[in-house]
Structure 1
Amino acid sequence: MEILLAVCVGLVVYTYFGYGILVWLLVKIRGRRPALKTDADFAPDVTLIVPAYNELSCLPDKVANSFAQLYPVDKLHFLFVTEGSNDGSADFLRSEYGSKVALMEGTERRGKVAAMNRAMLQVKTPLAIFTDANTILNHQAVQNLVRHFRDPQVGAVAGEKRILTGDSESAAGSGEGLYWKYESFLKRLDSDLHTIVGAAGELFAVRTELYEPVETDTILDDFIISLRIAGRGFRVAYEPDAYAMERPSFSIVDEQKRKIRIAAGGFQSIVRLTYLLNIFRYGWLTFEYVSHRAMRWAVAPLCLPLIFLANGWLAARERLASSAEGYGWTVLFILQGLFYGAAWVGYRLEKKNLRWKLLFVPFYFTFMNVCALAGLVRYWKGNQSGTWEKVRRAGEVELKVRS
């Protein structure tokens, strides 16, 4: 039990802290990649693809934001995918913008991945950028993504996802924002070391010629697309100065649905990307993929209940034996109980719309791992599909983007 406890604790600590420290040290030793400079002469044609299933409320702001990109007007093309929408999105785009935007519509809802596969067949530009309809991009986003493609070894570029939260936001929103700040930090390190392992669907760019049609039941299309490109020997770069801003989930129930779906997609991805586990062939990519992604989805969530149970067994054994060591195990067990108790209180308060930020770290950490276990069950049962699952977002706010 002591060995089991030690191994599980080590795996969890490595997953959430040790990997970041190790990669930071490796980057310090090897040195960061040289900073990129914007080259005005490098401006290839780009297609901005916006999947927009029933996003009529977001479209006016999204189109305006897309048109405001600081990129040569004759080089930037727009493709809005409204397939399956029944809220008038296609009619709005057609009547308001006409030939200024390309439109891919249809009455049948086949799912986001099927729509992306069809959209890429229409793309004639060497580069394509995917972005969600409910996000706002900084004005230099396209320009900053594109500059990485001067390097022929770069096959894709991921932008940064930012969560906009206010002082009165829920614990889920605050936790989500903190999570993405830490993720951005790790992505910077991954990119400097070798390649990032997984783009965020809110904003990422690919070389059109490298895009491969994705299985239509794929949940994490952005992750699969970027990892398959990396598996072919190309780098997936990271550009923190190209970012997509969005509001957090409307409620803890909405965030829970989203997290469980992502976790199910994580297990699906692990199965479909099994070949990337061959470290003798993929080297640094395997190291980053296993440490940053696979362990977070498939190892740490399973270790946490084992740690709690093993610690409880050891505390009970030592107390029954009246051993002095029992106090150490008991204290550790009590601390675990307090941590999970704080997480439970945070969850109950959140469901009643009562917020206490002091609890959001234990709450969100526990919440994230419980959702991962629920995602494993969902994947195991086959209860997922590739169709869009819209998640309500917190109240709309005015987004002011610096030019």
Structure 2
Amino acid sequence: MKLVFWTSLVFVAYTYAGYPLLVWALSRLRREPDAAPEAVARWPSVRVIVAVHNEQDRVAAKIANLRELDYPRDKLRIVFVSDGSNDATNDRLAKEADVEVLSYPVRRGKPHALNTAVEAASEEVLVFTDVRQSLAPRALRYLVARLLAPGVGAVSGELVHLDPQTHAAAHIGLYWRYEKWIRKSESRLASNLGVTGALYAIRRVDYKPVPEDTLLDDFEIPMRILRGGKRIVFETRAQVFDELQRSVSGERLRKVRTLTGNFQSFARNPWLFSPLANPVFVQFVSHKVFRLFVPYALALLLVSALLLDGRGYRLAAGAQLAGYAVCALGLAWPRLREHRLVSFLVVFLELNWAAVLALGNFLGGRIDSRWEKT
């Protein structure tokens, strides 16, 4: 039982602290060449793709934002794909003369929308973004300049959250800053394990149609490029802005969908688990796989601590039970979540519970590529 306790403890500690510190330290030994937009002699043609479903209230603001981008206008093509919208989305898009609109009556899901937008594309670079977020004026230049660097196959922008209005949002934001710190280190060391779905760029020649039941296009598409020998990098200067989820339940829905997509991608890409086929095998297992099993390690940690004799084990069990009790109180009385510690613990618990729910969704076949607003 001691082996179970200490193995579980080391596993959780490595996943949340050991690996991030290790990849950060190793990344400091590597110097990343600067990809300055000023050094680009010829800007390639770009197709910006936005998939939407019933977004009548957002498309105008998104188009206005894309028109303000600092990129050669004769090299930029804006394409909206309306995935079975049945509100006023199509009518509002039809009024925009400089926007290409692709639409079809039956909702098919985001992967089908992306495949449709890319199928007839002749532009050299594809940029994918969502309707909700706004891009910084020079975001495209930074994305493309980085993509033109030798060995780079996909470039992720940086999602910047606006000032949170609640403590729950603040601690979701804290988690996201922690995640970005890891991604920056992974990018500098070797390669990222996916991109920010709100903004990323690839070359047209590297795009392969994704299966229509795919949940995570922002993982599947770049990881195929990684398998082909190119890097996925994180460009912090290519910023895209969004608001945080203000409720834990909203973040739970988003996280459950994302983690369900992870299980789906793992099952259909077994090469990811081969050290010979996956050039970032250690990063993949440490960052993507281990986190999905932290909830079970925490359960083993608690059970083994309760069964073992000794003051240290009793303290460990007591601390874990106290944390769960605080979370339960925070969920029962929302006002308690105004306290930072309570809010942080609730978010941590919810994120791990989302991993359990995601596994249940995947094993139960509850997969739907038609995204819903959260």
TM-score above 0.5, yes or no = yes
Contact 1:170 1:353 in 2 (8 A): no
> Pairwise mapping of residues 38-117 of structure 1 onto structure 2 (< 5 A)?
38=37, 39-95=39-95, 97-98=96-97, 100-117=98-115
Counterpart CA distance in 2 for 1:377 and 1:345 is 26
Q: CA RMSD in A?
A: 1.6
Counterpart CA distance in 2 for 1:123 and 1:170 is 44
In structure 1, stretches of 5+ residues that fail to align are 319-325, 392-403
> Which residue does the alignment assign to 1:135?
133
> Which residue does the alignment assign to 2:332?
348
> Pairwise mapping of residues 244-393 of structure 1 onto structure 2 (< 5 A)?
244-283=240-279, 285-297=280-292, 299-314=293-308, 318=309, 326-350=310-334, 355-391=338-374
> Which residue does the alignment assign to 1:156?
154
Could you tell me how far 1:152 is from its partner in structure 2?
A: 3.7
Counterpart CA distance in 1 for 2:265 and 2:301 is 26
Contact 2:71 2:140 in 1 (8 A): yes
Contact 2:36 2:142 in 1 (8 A): no
Contact 1:165 1:177 in 2 (8 A): no
AA aligned opposite 1:331: L
Counterpart CA distance in 2 for 1:349 and 1:66 is 42
Contact 2:227 2:277 in 1 (8 A): no
1:218-239: per-residue Cα shift (whole Å, max 9, x none)?
1111111111111111111110
3-state DSSP of counterpart to 2:154: strand
Counterpart CA distance in 2 for 1:308 and 1:353 is 25
Counterpart CA distance in 2 for 1:356 and 1:57 is 35
AA aligned opposite 1:191: S
3-state DSSP of counterpart to 1:80: strand
> Which residue does the alignment assign to 1:31?
30
Contact 1:162 1:177 in 2 (8 A): no
AA aligned opposite 2:35: L
- Runs (4 or more) in structure 1 with deviation over 3 Å come to none
1:217-273: per-residue Cα shift (whole Å, max 9, x none)?
111111111111111111111101112211122533222222211121111111122
Counterpart CA distance in 2 for 1:176 and 1:232 is 34
Counterpart CA distance in 1 for 2:76 and 2:317 is 58
Could you tell me how far 1:155 is from its partner in structure 2?
A: 1.0
Given the alignment, which residue of 237, 240, 254 partners 2:236?
240
Contact 1:163 1:176 in 2 (8 A): no
Contact 1:145 1:159 in 2 (8 A): yes
> Which residue does the alignment assign to 1:15?
15
Counterpart CA distance in 2 for 1:239 and 1:307 is 38
1:271-330: per-residue Cα shift (whole Å, max 9, x none)?
1222122113334x1111111111112x2222111111111111xxx2xxxxxxx22211
> Which residue does the alignment assign to 1:323?
none
Could you tell me how far 1:170 is from its partner in structure 2?
A: 4.5
Counterpart CA distance in 1 for 2:118 and 2:332 is 44
Identity of aligned residues (%): 32
Contact 2:330 2:342 in 1 (8 A): yes
3-state DSSP of counterpart to 2:54: coil
> Which residue does the alignment assign to 1:396?
none
Could you tell me how far 1:93 is from its partner in structure 2?
A: 1.5
Given the alignment, which residue of 208, 213, 217 partners 1:221?
217
Counterpart CA distance in 2 for 1:312 and 1:177 is 33
Counterpart CA distance in 1 for 2:254 and 2:336 is 19
Q: Count residues with an aligned counterpart.
A: 373
Could you tell me how far 1:35 is from its partner in structure 2?
A: 2.1
1:309-364: per-residue Cα shift (whole Å, max 9, x none)?
111111xxx2xxxxxxx2221111111112222222232333x6963223222111
AA aligned opposite 2:127: I
3-state DSSP of counterpart to 2:285: helix
AA aligned opposite 1:262: T
AA aligned opposite 1:88: A
Contact 2:82 2:101 in 1 (8 A): yes
Q: TM-score, normalised by structure 2?
A: 0.96
Contact 2:271 2:278 in 1 (8 A): no
AA aligned opposite 1:362: L
AA aligned opposite 2:306: G
3-state DSSP of counterpart to 1:82: strand
Counterpart CA distance in 2 for 1:344 and 1:175 is 17
Contact 2:147 2:201 in 1 (8 A): no
